[in-house]
A and B are shown apart, each in its own frame.
Chain A
């Protein structure tokens, strides 16, 4: 075990953990907005795939990564809009329609991938940017301030989301709609509009989460490349008690343990690989059970809103 607690290994774990946390952060922060307004979107994984595909395809065809990123956000927006129509306007059961959306995203991204690309190709994605001064700090500079743009963006998103949710009128409306849509409605808040906005915002961020994989971290597209990350992101929202900082804590914990288990295997520590691979999931479940934050759950989560009904 001692070989795990050396400086290079610890630095390696933190560096990989930060990178691994990036897609989860975008997706889970977006999902936090949707859930705070009362909509559970289980289609995050499918949206991520659409974002990953669209971003990759556009970046490859135009040679411009930023166009790719915009395309991913647009694809996420469309998927979010679809989810809003189904779950807000049509008032479909949110859990079921989310799973449907996920399968739709999985199927459509695979189909488009096969029709337009045919096989796996890679591109040169966003490169690490060393932040001046901070990046020169020994050790810390390497692990915290030498990442690509999308990694920085994910971590800047956390305080921003926290500010929007807690300090702005829009955030207040979102929280009101998620707690008691009837009361919010009588006070003149447009419940439908707020929910459309949050679900679409969640879609945009899930699209960017996908692009963070295909344009910054892995730099290629393959069918089902998220392999269930979107569902982990939904779990992280619960884990984080519907608060951006909590979500970040959960994403980092999950990612650090995932990075740790790879090092456990690399260092040949005598644990079966199957157990090592399970570590992040087991830990997440334990933390989820112990956290006992159900009280923070938005009261109207998964409940469709119909004016005049109670």
Chain B
């Protein structure tokens, strides 16, 4: 009997200790009730500070929130770190049943779940990406889709990297060979080869969006194989940027500005600006249209931006060539997955 009492006491002590250790996450601030705000909820695989996919979207949401007049007019709820799809699906369903005006599933891995959830909430607008499939073929009319044409920035960065490389070898640290990462990598390789036919581009994939350690090893391997310019995609590239910094190689980023990890290592980044997509979706939802449209981010519509890091000098002629390439992509004379059209 005494033993049981001791055990229960220990258990109680332990649980209370754990509970006190886990601080309550800040609840979203409740807006004033007099005017009904527009309510957006987003579910994201990584964190809003991942310097990549999730952060690019969250920063755009915050920008739109500011334009709309702050949290009292435009409410944002988010769930981050949802790498587990069933958890994400539960969160999506939860937000929908709480009456959010627009529920966004920010990850192509959430698509199947979303196509099952959306029909249960015909009054709610949903969105997901990156994809171009709004599920209209399945008779679903309340889903928007969005995608970044990452190959465009990939092509331009590949061009710059090839022209800057002294060793003639480039290294691409890919996560999973699918979706946004595949578009970016394919564009980068095409851009490099067109800018400099003798360039060698080595490509690796780690099979994971989050394995920082293997990504670091991939970067090490690329550098050992002679690469002096590296690129990669996903939130796991921070490991690779660290290696590039240590070994004096340069890095080309995508999705979000990665300069903080390597202030003198990151040469240029393709930055996603999702505000145009979010603005239009909000406008449409307010007008009563709940889905059925697919958006893309391109250089032409301003959704993609090339951002240089001032601390790493890029020769003017290479910058000029990059701008020429962007113009070519915008006016359609360059196909970012193959090269100049004849």
Which residues of A are at the interface with B, using a C-beta cutoff of 8 A? 8, 12, 15-16, 19-20, 23, 82, 85-86, 89-90, 104, 107-108, 110-111, 114-115, 118-122, 213, 217-220, 222-227, 229, 258-259, 262-263, 265-268, 273-274, 276-278
Contacts and interface: CB of A to CB of B under 8 A. Distances in A.
Contacts, number: 131
13 contacts: A107-B22, A120-B49, A213-B213, A220-B212, A222-B50, A222-B239, A227-B212, A229-B213, A262-B221, A265-B203, A266-B202, A267-B202, A277-B206
A104 B15 CA distance: 12
A111 B21 CA distance: 10
B177 A259 contact: no
Given A223-B47, A227-B210, A122 B205 contact: no
Interface string B219-236: 011101100000000011
A273 to B, nearest CB: 4
Interface in B168-218: 171, 174, 177, 202-208, 210-214, 216-218
A80 B218 CA distance: 32
Given A122-B242, A219-B242, A220-B242, A265 B205 contact: yes
Interface string B6-19: 01001100100010
Contacts of A111: 22-23, 25
Interface residues of B, number: 50
A258 to B, nearest CB: 7
Contacts of B220: 16, 19
User: Interface centre among A259, A273, A276, by most B CB within 10 Å?
Assistant: A273
A224 B210 contact: yes
Task: Please name the 8 residue pairs, one residue from A and one from B, whose CB atoms are nearest each other, closest first.
Answer: A277-B207, A273-B205, A119-B49, A265-B204, A262-B221, A12-B224, A266-B202, A227-B211
Contacts of B204: 262, 265-266, 273
A39 to B, nearest CB: 17
Interface of B: 7, 10-11, 14, 18, 21-23, 25, 46-47, 49-51, 81, 83, 171, 174, 177, 202-208, 210-214, 216-218, 220-222, 224-225, 235-236, 238-239, 241-242, 245-246, 260-262
A220 B239 contact: yes
B172 to A, nearest CB: 10
A283 to B, nearest CB: 15
Nearest to A225: B212
A90 B208 contact: no
Nearest to B221: A262
A276 B49 CA distance: 30
B21 to A, nearest CB: 7
Nearest to A110: B81
Contacts of B225: 12, 263, 266-267
B10 A218 contact: no
A221 to B, nearest CB: 9
B18 A223 contact: no
Nearest to B216: A218
Contact of B217 (A19, A82, A110, A223): A19
A266 B171 contact: yes
Contact of B221 (A108, A263, A268): A263
Contacts of A262: 204, 214, 217-218, 221
Which has the most chain A C-beta neighbours within 10 Å: B83, B213, B262?
A: B213
Given A89-B7, A119-B260, A120-B260, A259 B217 contact: yes
A54 to B, nearest CB: 13
A273 B242 contact: no
A121 B241 CA distance: 11
Given A114-B49, A218-B216, A266-B221, A90 B10 contact: yes
A263 B235 CA distance: 22
Nearest to B258: A120
A8 B202 CA distance: 16
B208 A218 contact: no
Contacts of B210: 224, 227
A107 B213 CA distance: 19
A89 B213 contact: no
